[in-house]
Amino acid sequence: MTESTNRTADGVVVGAGIVGASTAYQLAKTGRKVMLVDKGAGPGYGSSSASSGIIRFEYTLLTSVIVAWEAAHCWADLGAYLQAPAGEALASFYRSGKIMMDCPAFPRAALRTYFDQLGIEYEEWDAAELRRRVGGINPGRHFPPKPIDSDAFWDDPSEEIGAVYTPQAGFIDDPRLACENFANAARRAGAETVYLTRVVGISAGRSGAGLWRLTLDSGAVIETPLVVNAAGPWSSELNALAGIGGEFAITTRPLRQEVHGVPAPEGFNPPGGIGPCVADQDLGYYLHPEPSGSLQIGGTEPECDALDWVVGPVDAVDLNRTAELFEKQVTRAARRFPGLAIPPRPTGVAGVYDVATDWTPIYDKTDAPGFYVAIGTSGNQFKNGPLIGEFMNAIIETGQSGTDHDTSPATYTGPVTGRTVDLSFYSRLREPAANSGTVAG
């Protein structure tokens, strides 16, 4: 868009990650003339492209379990969900299954209750079953995670632990492609996608008609009654441009994280297949297999390790993976899988995600009419991408029809569970959620 091009739209979604692309899709389906704007060269080059894309159902709060389970069904038939034309290359949901190693934050009794209520298939494994089902695993108990350079890290395990196995869990093989799939669906529904374009200014319009004026780096201006901040780790910067956030009880800040690639240990992948995803808060890492059979290893942000909070502009973050974090995460995983060969050179990706005070996202209106936020996804919301668009659409429909979502919250009823989610669960004004207080939610 050039300087001379001033435009109007029924709504502008800033950010074409999984959150913005999904939101644009749902808003466009209602017949709104929507613009989806991203500074990147296409959809999904922010947090979403660095995502491990793991789809799991272990959360500490029932609402979060419902949402993850419902969303998994959208991923399972993505083509139908997005009404994609035959021939479009779609991101795939690999149901590799997943094991959640026993740990205090996720007691089996709570998981059992949630899974039984919702009909989520699971198996409870003791240490012997773990050994039988997961090649190369050592089921020793190490909790709480220790710094890898401490002697205590190498202490013998105090006992053995088991795990809860969910066969329907897995991962999305190409999170960036998934964003493109959602952006394509938004376009088919009538949205306009605008890339390589940064929103550099936001002000309430002078017309008095309740319009927002978004200034782009080209100098062009878009006028619109509806703005959705879906800017991921840049969301605080975008809110600051618009003067939004002063009333928020829950705040967000960006965190840098890395995921590393290593060959799978001998026996981890069954013949002709791939092994399960592993969440291991007992040691402080997680891993997922890739379709090729190699492993991606990430961190669960254990308390003993300092978190790499981003200070200053997100664009200034160094996205090269570091030998230090590689060693930390891969060494943790190697304690569980002693046969894991640690390559001499770090490989992997670095990314940034925006963390909310209580590691639960904010999907909400704000005190500025027409300005909405879908932010603070806290490293655990890629999996919920499809539903986030539906949530934002419901919240926006409520707000734009004159109902106050703060006092009469919008709801979402899941077609699979029949459960209704009160969307004030994601309110910016909430008390911090009583969850695990970690990236696991």
**Interface with ligand FAD, residue 325, by CB under 6 A:** no
Question: Which of residues 11, 15, 265, 289 is near ligand FAD by CB under 6 A?
Answer: 15
> Is residue 360 involved in binding ligand FAD (CB under 6 A)?
no
Q: Is 162 in the site for ligand FAD (CB under 6 A)?
A: no
CB atoms within 10 A of CB 25: 29
230 binds ligand FAD (CB under 6 A): yes
Count residues near ligand FAD (CB under 6 A): 39
Binding mask 169-208 for ligand FAD (x = CB under 6 A): -----------------------------xx---------
The answer to whether residue 231 forms part of the interface with ligand FAD (CB under 6 A) is yes
Q: Residues 372-391 vs ligand FAD: string with x where CB under 6 A?
A: -----x-xxxxx--------
Whole-angstrom Cα distance, residue 208 to residue 16?
Answer: 29
> CA 349, 355, 361, 364: dihedral to nearest 10 degrees?
-120
Near ligand FAD by CB under 6 A, which window of 41-49, 72-80, 132-140, 332-340? 41-49
- The type of residue at 11 is G
Q: Which residues contact 405 (CB under 8 A, 6 or more apart)?
A: 364, 365, 395, 398, 399, 423, 424
Dist CA 327 CA 331 (whole Å): 6
Tally of CB atoms within 10 A around 40? 17
Q: Do 275 and 96 form a contact (C-beta atoms < 8 A)?
A: yes
Contact range with ligand FAD by CB under 6 A, out of 32-40, 110-118, 244-252, 404-412? 32-40
Query: Is 11 among the residues that bind ligand FAD (CB under 6 A)?
Result: no
Give the sign of the dihedral formed by CA 419, CA 423, CA 426, CA 431. negative
Q: Which is nearer to ligand FAD, 51 or 127 (CB)?
A: 51
Please enumerate in sequence order all residues whose Cβ is within 8 A of that of 77, keeping only pairs 6 or more positions apart, or say none: none
Tokens for 249?
């009880």
Chain residue at closest Cβ approach to ligand FAD: 17
Could you give the residue ranges of the DSSP H alpha helices within 264-384? 323-336
- Contact letters (x/-) for ligand FAD, 263-282, by CB under 6 A? --------------------
H or E stretch covering 108: helix 108-118
Q: What residues make contact with ligand FAD under the rule CB under 6 A?
A: 14-20, 37-40, 45-48, 50-54, 198-199, 230-234, 238, 257, 259, 298, 351, 353, 377, 379-383
